[in-house]
Amino acid sequence: MAFQTELQRFITESNLEIEKHMGNPTFTWNGNTYTCIPSVAEFKRDLETGGFSIVKLLTATVRRLNCSGLAVFTTLPTAQQKITYSIDGLQYRIESIHTDPSGSYFRMIAEGTSKGI
């Protein structure tokens, strides 16, 4: 099915442009590679002996539609599944997936699977 609304077209085209300007960063999930708009942050999370551990958090906006308005995913990733982020080559565990009301994209929040840096 192609674009259903002008809003979907606008959001998808905007996300494609942002991805292009960011160098088309990707992540791998379920054997396939997908483009995203990422943000990686490091923060102190768990109190351990000697202080807080440092954890990496990946937040990514991911298109659900391609440039023709067709679905990119047959099923969406789910919490606890693992992905590999192309920029740092690290593996992350998905914490949550939040879809937008238009069905154009979803926001994925994932935590690094290795403690420390």
Q: DSSP labels for 89-108? A: --EEEEEEEEE-TTSSEEEE
Amino acid at 7: L
Cα separation, 91 vs 15, whole angstroms: 24
- Whether residue 47 is contained in a domain is answered as yes
pLDDT at 22 over 70: yes
pLDDT at 117 over 50: no
Cα separation, 16 vs 5, whole angstroms: 17
11, 102 in Cβ contact below 8 A? yes
* Over residues 112-116, mean pLDDT: 74
Instruction: Return the pLDDT at 115.
Output: 60
Cα separation, 98 vs 81, whole angstroms: 15
The pTM of this model reads 0.86
Q: pLDDT tens digit string along 27-48?
A: 999 999 999 999 988 766 667 7
Q: pLDDT tens digit string along 69-92?
A: 999 999 999 999 999 999 999 999
Report how many domains make up the chain: 1
Identify the domain containing residue 10 by its residue range: 6-112
- Whether residue 41 is contained in a domain is answered as yes
CATH number at residue 80: 2.40.10
- Whether residue 60 is contained in a domain is answered as yes
